[in-house]
Structure 1
């Protein structure tokens, strides 16, 4: 009787245990093996959601960008927004003031990042193209449109450069330009007029010298390209147009022999002879010359759009940045602007070119053009972006943006990249020689004729004449 009862209890316990195990087993199987709901095309609902949100773009995306006078606030914001729009993309940032040098080994070893913003020391788009490091994006770029359907390539202030028979290797992201900066508040207080041509500029500098007791013009002698890009290039373009500008930069002998060139250098000589150039300029780096402007030790300097952002921590509270296209033009003639474009490109050996293309397409919008102006004090290279109602954009930038988008006020002349290895070498040598002679003429050690003679002889030497 006892044995029979024990067996009954044992049987009951085993049966209950089996039922519990079976129930657990059924629950697990149901959760793990329940088929995913599908659409009519066979895609899962989860997959459809990801596809619509990010277009199937995923994986690591490496972006290299230089951090200089424009800062990195815009990059941080646009990358954060891109991550939100493309949640399956893992963005890896390589950034900083020395990033071009730090990433050089990656490029040499054919293991570059996917996207590169080409700016700052140690970067050269011309060299990268010559070395075959950038992806030909011609066909893809020609198919891009803005939100209103306008082709992106038709929406640039300065066009995307086409090389090698129409190939496009980069998109022009930043429209910077060199011009003359001054303290607008100081000028208003003193009653000084803003120059519109060379005659009024020369008269303005003479008046400032007399009334303020300072040398009104300053530049950096350590980086003489500031004077080349900020004064000479717009002067040459205003005098002879885009063709003369490019021929001079490319070392065409006949260009250096033209009378317009001597006329421009005579204007420089007039500034020097009137004692209007800061006597210490040759020893100044760019930061020192910019500080001198902020401290009213000088009244005019040639710099690019990055100046206010670069010097924001040193700018006096009552200083108001003013900008005018370099007034080296003759009276009655248009002032000239030479775009100083910063481009963005995709590496030819990019591991994730599709994500890279998605990123480039993502940033060229009215929204990010507005934010770029807010964050950097410079202009994104897009036409018809109305900055007038944006209270976060400085007045000087609104003014120059209006001038750029209003035909007839100024003339924009593009500096083109020379094609062919030898032509590129000549352009580099000509630039190096110009920088040497700029210091010489601003010191008063040579006159306009000697400057032109030396440059003409250098062009002949490089051309084997």
Structure 2
């Protein structure tokens, strides 16, 4: 495994590591749904501390606070595929542990847009969970919005008696040696398919790009569908779910670092051009749904579940987010996106969802207390139970957990086998200022309106702008 993993990525259990997460929706989801105020009861938006205590009177504390942490604590978190029942329970327990703290939380599927004016006016909430469309950890660091946690983290001991900085599966992102966020959720993007259909029809599960193209061709011929779909409204799904691991497989950690930092000439490198030509090959074969440009993430996922398409790149939040819409005969299958060359292992790049404290937090003491409170074995286990995903915390034993889905067990076995999967690491996520223009050009390439050469020119121009040239 990659050196970025301090230890073997294993959650001890016969039922398997819940390598899920992430993300978009559960992790990187787009803004969708009713406004936050209308969703207070449904998705936990903007409830007050008094309401929270009433909703869950069974806290994990006797209510005796330590007398050191008090006042109002504001928390912002995105609600997507993971839901927010875990947040509700954690916040209620925190209030029981710290009765002198009044927690106000701002939550919902559109929360990043709704809270934007607060951040711009230097009146942010104290704690923010960075996830969903409209959020960018790197952008927030570049804009000076997040507190430097480097020194504080070196001193934090969890309630389990462990040094927090030594307890992560994957270390926090660093920016010029500084830490501004702590990775809460471990996710990875990959490619999903209907395992029941593949078994019934005898379709080969791809193991590399050549077999991927072969299987898509067979499906196209037999089913009369475009095999691949994604969301064109949010092109970062393809960029993170398909291209990022492809670049990892082609050039390792060094290439990934050069891409996210906007190194001059990076998109012109031979190994990068080769991956973009694979995308063009998919488009020219007619394997990419030509309507994807108009699809939001929910529509693309529904089309996939209904059999209009056979493959979709999404994070591990997909089954949880689409639980109510999944057909009874549908069986989730997952593989790391198969863009690597024949004979090479699958590639995975961890995609983390962090917690951070605002640089201008009104109550930094309560904010730090909350962050410490969250990172425990107890709440990591509860996170898996509530979301079907995992927290970025080592040593969580899920061996007796009966709610671990089969696809996670299978994914765990695969990802922990270095003969099948190589894990790569990037220093931090790509800034929105760079990801957005590249994503726009990527959509054009996938629609066939520009060539690979034109895409490369656009990408290089975007990196030059990002560098301020």
Counterpart in 2 of 1:65? 77
Counterpart in 1 of 2:114? 102
Alpha-carbon separation, structure 1, partners of 2:139 and 2:173: 15
- Are positions 1:361 and 2:372 aligned together? yes
Alpha-carbon separation, structure 2, partners of 1:324 and 1:380: 20
2:436 pairs with 432, 435, 450, which one?
432
Matched residue of 1:350: which SS?
coil
Cα deviations by residue, 1:155-176 (Å, 9 ceiling, x for unpaired): 2222112324x33221111122
2:327 pairs with 316, 325, 341, which one?
316
Shift of the 201–386 alpha-carbon distance from structure 1 to 2, 3 Å rule, reads farther
User: 1:344 offset after TM fit, Å?
Assistant: 0.8
- How well do the aligned residues superpose, as a CA RMSD in angstroms? 2.8
Matched residue of 1:323: which SS?
strand
Shift of the 145–189 alpha-carbon distance from structure 1 to 2, 3 Å rule, reads farther
Q: How does 1:38-437 map to 2 (within 5 A)?
A: 54=66, 56-146=68-158, 149-164=161-176, 166-404=177-415, 407=418, 409-417=420-428, 428=432, 430-437=434-441
The answer as to whether partners of 2:67 and 2:100 remain within 8 angstroms in 1 is no
Alpha-carbon separation, structure 2, partners of 1:121 and 1:292: 21
Alpha-carbon separation, structure 1, partners of 2:365 and 2:382: 25
The answer as to whether partners of 2:187 and 2:350 remain within 8 angstroms in 1 is yes
Matched residue of 1:160: which SS?
coil
- Are positions 1:444 and 2:455 aligned together? no
Matched residue of 1:391: which SS?
coil
Structure 1 spans left out of the alignment, 5+ residues: 1-48, 419-423
Cα deviations by residue, 1:342-397 (Å, 9 ceiling, x for unpaired): 11112233333222222111111222222212222332112343445422232223
Bigger shift: residues 395-404 or 190-199: 395-404
Shift of the 355–406 alpha-carbon distance from structure 1 to 2, 3 Å rule, reads farther
Shift of the 399–356 alpha-carbon distance from structure 1 to 2, 3 Å rule, reads farther
Alpha-carbon separation, structure 2, partners of 1:288 and 1:402: 31
Alpha-carbon separation, structure 2, partners of 1:311 and 1:320: 12
Matched residue of 2:265: which SS?
helix
Structure with the greater alpha carbon radius of gyration: 1
User: 1:430 offset after TM fit, Å?
Assistant: 4.3
Matched residue of 1:434: which SS?
helix
Cα deviations by residue, 1:402-435 (Å, 9 ceiling, x for unpaired): 55555554233333348xxxxx8xx655433422
Which structure dedicates a bigger proportion of its chain to helix? 1
Shift of the 361–291 alpha-carbon distance from structure 1 to 2, 3 Å rule, reads same
Shift of the 258–188 alpha-carbon distance from structure 1 to 2, 3 Å rule, reads same
Alpha-carbon separation, structure 2, partners of 1:104 and 1:360: 22
Structure 2 spans left out of the alignment, 5+ residues: 1-60
Alpha-carbon separation, structure 1, partners of 2:100 and 2:110: 29
**Count of aligned pairs between the two proteins:** 409
Shift of the 435–77 alpha-carbon distance from structure 1 to 2, 3 Å rule, reads same
Alpha-carbon separation, structure 2, partners of 1:464 and 1:353: 33
Shift of the 389–273 alpha-carbon distance from structure 1 to 2, 3 Å rule, reads farther
Shift of the 440–352 alpha-carbon distance from structure 1 to 2, 3 Å rule, reads closer
Matched residue of 2:95: which SS?
helix
Alpha-carbon separation, structure 1, partners of 2:112 and 2:440: 26
Counterpart in 2 of 1:44? none
Bigger shift: residues 224-233 or 349-358: 349-358
